[in-house]
Structure 1
Amino acid sequence: MRVRPHRERRRPECGSAVADFAMVSGLVAVLFIAVFQVGLALHIRNTLISCAAEGARFGARADAQPEDGAARARQLISASVSERFAGNVTATVVDAGGAQVVAVTVVAPLPVIGPLGPDGRLRVVGRAFLESQ
């Protein structure tokens, strides 16, 4: 009897791990960028809401004018996020069910990472009761 040398057979799946990694890593990267984009937009939105509310409280004081609240909101936005988000800040006195309310409105660009993500503007309003009524 003659013994043949054992040859290794190549399995048909050989090299498929590299292809799987390439395909899955691309999907994971896109998913990570999308989650990061949503997180950044929510962070900016929450920061703008907080700054607008603080500006409204500042402008609603008995010894202040509503424009003082807009200036305070601009200052807070510039210090906490960036000056480009503080470009369009207005303050008005509005009637809310018989009570005078100072409303500070901030309109800012929506932060976008690269070409992905929604395009548009954020519009947030902070309100506080006017103390001098």
Structure 2
Amino acid sequence: MTRRVRAVGGGPDAGAAVVDFVLIGGLIVVIALGIVQLTLGLHVRNTLVDSASAGARYGALDGRSTSDAARRTRELVAGSLADGYADEVTARRVVVGGVEMVEVEVRAPLPVIGLIGPAGRLTVTGHAIAEDDLP
């Protein structure tokens, strides 16, 4: 006599759990990488804003010039991020409400994949009241 052994759990859904795991796992990885990339973009923006503001405050000190502000901003950006983010830094004196201020503008790539992105997409400014204009 021969016996037949029946497969347990067979049927049309056999092996579907593996496919579900791979598809859902891939989706979760893509979502997690997107969140990390958004966080990196926000970090770059905040670092540029802070560097521009610090450079403007440095250039606004009595006896300092706008070239000092731009140089200090480049140093801060290059020290915090890649050197390519410090390429387009400009500083100038502006008058706002009758008060002379130092304005530092930084144009940098917006990181799309890692720190790589199109050039000149993100523009931030920092301001400080010029001390040599104060009474």
TM over 0.5: yes
Residue 7 (1) aligns with residue 6 (2): yes
Count of matched residue positions in the alignment of Structure 1 and Structure 2: 128
5 Å matches for 1:1-133?
7-9=6-8, 10-113=10-113, 119=118, 121-133=121-133
The range that moved more, 91-100 or 119-128, is 119-128
Cα distance in 1 between the residues matched to 2:113 and 2:5:
56
Cα distance in 2 between the residues matched to 1:118 and 1:31:
20
Identity percentage of aligned residues: 42
Structure 1: runs of 5+ lacking an equivalent: none
Cα distance in 2 between the residues matched to 1:124 and 1:22:
42
SS of 2:63's partner is: coil
- The C-alpha deviation readout for 1:86-127, integer Å capped at 9, x for no partner, is 00000011111111110000000111217xx98561100000
Give the deviation of 1:6 after TM superposition: 6.5
SS of 2:23's partner is: helix
The range that moved more, 67-76 or 29-38, is 29-38
| TM-score (normalizing by structure 2) | 0.86
RMSD between superposed Cα atoms in Å: 2.0
